Amino acid sequence: MLSYVPGDSLAHRLDPRTKLFVQVAFVLAAFAHTTVPGLAVLTVVALGCLALAGGSVRRTLWSYRYFLPFLLAGPLLEALTWGVPWVVLGDAVDPLLASYRVLLVFLVSGAYVRSTPVRDSRAAIQRLVPGKPGRLLGVGLSLVFRFLPVLKRDLFASRDAMRARLGEERPVHERMRIVATAGLNRAFGRADRLSVALRARCFAWNPTLPDLRFSRADAPAGTVGLLLVVWALV
């Protein structure tokens, strides 16, 4: 599961607002130039972002492995026809380019998550979105990034416990029901404990957040974001 990894890479030293801007600019450019030449340029940018964050393509794609079948299903289904010749490869070109575009967005997002602490992401969002909406978005983001890995471990623990009790001999639908039920029960239990913990700590809408400052390293990254926005608008 993708999560923040402490480090001293260039991406780690960038202001989170700069990294969010580059992400948004990359998405705009990806949707504006879903062509082979455009995606070739964006592939270089995505691999560069991942390298600057100290990540690897293999590990990032493995973290997104549950979404990859959906990206492959679109082109495959589009290529199938109800009659002869049954498969038209030309019909799968546009869906394939769209799926590859989403894959590149995943790589850039993985670079951001790997190089940005949750508190910094929350601070960036609350500074970019004023008022209580920004605070609500910041709290939601921090909870999602902190609890997704925990919930995933709970599901794996439930699956391992079922296997230890010879659960592999049960039908597939029953195994799915057992794991899903156990996962939901643990999720609700964690939510209740989180609610109690927030109240016990006098949860407030205006916590003390880390101080964010732009540095010289943000200038090249911001320039890349501006170029992507201009390219998307051209």
Q: What is the pLDDT of residue 103?
A: 92
Torsion sign across C-alpha atoms 198, 200, 204, 210: negative
Q: What is the pLDDT of residue 14?
A: 92
Torsion of the alpha carbons at 116, 120, 121 and 127, rounded to the nearest 10: -150
Q: What is the mean pLDDT of residues 140-147?
A: 70
Q: What is the mean pLDDT of residues 44-71?
A: 89
- Listed in sequence order, the residues at least 6 apart from 157 whose beta carbon sits closer than 8 Å to its beta carbon are none
**Residue 141: pLDDT over 90:** no
The strand pairing partners of 80, in sequence order, are 87
Q: What is the mean pLDDT of residues 20-46?
A: 93
Average of per-residue pLDDT values in the chain = 83
- Listed in sequence order, the residues at least 6 apart from 153 whose beta carbon sits closer than 8 Å to its beta carbon are none
- Listed in sequence order, the residues at least 6 apart from 56 whose beta carbon sits closer than 8 Å to its beta carbon are 50
The model's pLDDT over 163-174, given as tens digits with 9 standing for 90+, comes to 787 777 778 777
**Residue 205: pLDDT over 70:** no
The model's pLDDT over 101-140, given as tens digits with 9 standing for 90+, comes to 999 999 999 899 899 888 888 788 877 777 777 777 776 7
**Residue 11: pLDDT over 70:** yes
Geometric angle at alpha carbon 27, from 21 and 28, rounded to 5°: 90
More confident residue, 8 or 177: 8
Q: What is the mean pLDDT of residues 208-229?
A: 86
Other C-beta atoms closer than 10 Å to the C-beta of 44 total 9
- Listed in sequence order, the residues at least 6 apart from 117 whose beta carbon sits closer than 8 Å to its beta carbon are 4, 210
Q: What is the pLDDT of residue 107?
A: 92
**Which residue, chain included where needed, has tokens 């002869």?**
84
